[in-house]
A and B are shown apart, each in its own frame.
Chain A
């Protein structure tokens, strides 16, 4: 089999709050291959969010190794990590995090601004991904004019627009009703099945996790 897209070995993380040390991850190792849809499950406090933040380069482990697309991320400085997030990672959040004063199209083009892409190309790519998630008719809407499911589809479009190697979805259905949830999960599954993309999704719902090819369960900082 080919080299895994994500190779994590022996990651530990401990939060210090004054004198109190709270160990969160105790030597986590996992691989994710290109084209996989992996669900990361665990109760709250299990360390799944911390693992997600480390995988998505928003946080650093105390020890252990992490290669993303054959790049050793542990030694990179913040600028290089920002650049890697820009090029290889797409984010989908539970709270959507669309900028309220920007239109749907502008929200989707946002990552491309930082990629120094000419405007015409930015707009063309944003329109293409908006079409992929079925929101071509909402380009000029403001986020406040959309339903929850539509907002999350805009967020998925934004995650896709920079053509990332992996999409991290953090409780993407946490704020959605069951119909919208299913829609969003189907889109994520189609991304892996039809377009060969890689998705890592954090969730605590069994039903959502079942959309993944593989479920990684985490409890008290250990993968079980």
Chain B
């Protein structure tokens, strides 16, 4: 890129041949290898850091998106809250206004095929062998219709269990393994906090969704969890599969809930509602925006080190110009023009930074892979991502840094008076 730039500049005027210019510049860098390498280190670190930060930012974004996507674009969530359409995982710090009656109203009057209510908490679960702290989900019989999962043994919670507040539980694959090992848990009793329940089923592996490991969940009938475990009447959220256009389904859901909550809101101002209706695409859009901001923040911080690296280049180029004052004087005396001297030194700076950029990319990709490998140990579903745009941008930025920070020293070299320069001791 830079070479093409210089070549085209050369073609327009009677000047040193571009290949010779390139060789002159690389020669003087090679003859001072250790200094060149040290100079380049700042750029290597800068570019490497930018790549690493972009990779981590994109990885985080990808991870977060994977937690909310794949649910199906027809999925509508209803949760308590107030505001102009904010979204995200249910928060414990808001008044819980959603009840099973709302779910019933949505099921009866809304354009939904399945409506499933969920109340969640975290508490101790113990069996004979073991005791652990884990997520509890109070659900109804439609849960698996909305969030499909395999029942590998026994059965899932049914309508009758919900109606009768049955003291039964379905275990996620990992918690079943943890509490019972090889033993068949079906029919065994476990203690959920102080509530003794009977295990009626075990689910297959599901992985992680909404930032919680579904395989470590204990499922109870929603009514049992509400009354026997928590002593509440609300649900944390309702999820429903819509029929037809999702946006009109969301509007219908809002109308039904306003009616059910006796809200007078004819202008349909979302801020006046005590509930939030959202869809997967809303969540994806918000997370995408947040992820972009996060990536930008990380990359900006890394870019500061690139700036420092650029200043390092300028510093060394200034030292180099001073050291080579007599060389510059000689070159000018024997017929080098200002622009030829300028281009020689500018090209040296650009070669340094591009070289540093390439090493930085290799190093950055390497450390990103390492970081992703470490992160995926702790965060299930973390992917190693290198955005190709980051690599291209890095090379471009490295070149620009070389031109920007190399220009001042190069101009200083070009403007030296040959008589003074030749006398320089």
Contacts and interface: CB of A to CB of B under 8 A. Distances in A.
Most buried by A among B16, B17, B24, B329: B17
A194 interface: no
Most buried by B among A58, A83, A119: A58
A93 B334 contact: no
Nearest to B13: A79
A86 to B, nearest CB: 3
B418 A58 contact: yes
Contact of B422 (A82, A93, A119): A93
Contacts of A114: 16, 331, 334-337, 340
A116 B333 contact: no
Q: Is the interface of B mostly helix, strand, loop or mixed?
A: helix
A110 B334 contact: yes
Contacts of A158: 334
Nearest to A158: B334
A108 B419 CA distance: 21
Nearest to A106: B27
Given A93-B422, A116-B16, A99 B337 contact: no
Interface string A60-102: 0000000000000000001100110111010101010101010
Interface residues of A, number: 27
Interface in B319-359: 326-327, 329-340
A53 B334 contact: no
Given A53-B419, A97-B422, A99-B330, A113 B20 contact: yes
A85 B340 contact: no
Contacts of A99: 327, 330
Given A59-B419, A93-B422, A101 B337 contact: no
Interface of A: 53, 56, 58-59, 78-79, 82-83, 85-87, 89, 91, 93, 95, 97, 99, 101, 110-111, 113-116, 119, 158, 162
Q: Which 8 A-B pairs have the closest CB atoms?
A: A86-B335, A101-B31, A111-B334, A82-B337, A85-B335, A97-B330, A114-B335, A113-B20
Given A93-B422, A116-B15, A116-B16, 11 more contacts: A58-B333, A78-B337, A79-B337, A82-B335, A82-B337, A87-B335, A114-B331, A114-B334, A116-B17, A158-B334, A162-B334
